Amino acid sequence: MSPRPKVPTRMWIPADNPEVYKALVALQRASSTGLPAELGELVKIRASQINGCAYCLHMHTSDALTMDIDPRKLMMVATWREATGIFDERERAALGLTESLTRVADDGVPDEVFATAREYFDDHELGQLVASIAMINTWNRIAIAGGYPAGLDERRSRDV
């Protein structure tokens, strides 16, 4: 069982629901394989921005800073559509799908968004991408519900 963090939170899934946490970690690991880590971090950052999850945004921006990602991408991911010449077409397709799936209640996933993603990802990669987007949205909701503050990073045991 993971101990509670020193900073107060409303709930701490690793301690309060270890079975759920272990299952989520296993799904996170499975959904992360097969896609470049850098692309995964851009997806996690964008979804966390949309959802307003300061905890996950801080975590994944910090992780991205340790990678060989062009810093302009980290500065411009929220405005990727207008950031011409910074994101390649594959990244743009992934970010478009991220936005649609994260905001699924608004318009679903438009056919053109999915078709664009299919142009740049094979069936396996597309499944991985959709699962990765679903997972970061799940983690965002857990962190927001739990009141996890930005900068609290209790997963450095590399569970996630």
Q: Using one digit for the tens of pLDDT, what is the confidence trace for 51-82? A: 999 999 999 999 999 998 999 999 999 999 99
Which range (3-7, 99-103, 129-133) has the least confidence?
A: 3-7
Q: How far is CA 142 from the centre of its chain?
A: 13
Domain of residue 126, CATH code: 1.20.1290.10
Question: What proportion of the chain, given as a percentage, has pLDDT over 90?
Answer: 78
Domain count of the fold of the chain: 1
pLDDT at 1 over 70: no
Reference 48, options 143, 115, 122; nearest CA is 143
- State which residues form the domain around 54: 28-146
pLDDT at 156 over 60: no
Instruction: Output the pTM of the full model.
Output: 0.89
Asked if the structure places residue 90 within a domain, the reply is: yes
Residue 112: which residues within 8 A CB-CB, separation 6 or more?
Answer: none
Asked if the structure places residue 152 within a domain, the reply is: no
Summarize pLDDT for 17-30 with one digit per residue, the tens.
Answer: 899 999 999 999 99
Report which of residues 149 and 73 the model is more confident about: 73
- The pLDDT assigned to 160 comes to 40
Reference 129, options 32, 51, 60; nearest CA is 32
Per DSSP, 65 falls in state H
Asked if the structure places residue 49 within a domain, the reply is: yes
CA 63 – CA 46 distance, rounded (Å): 14
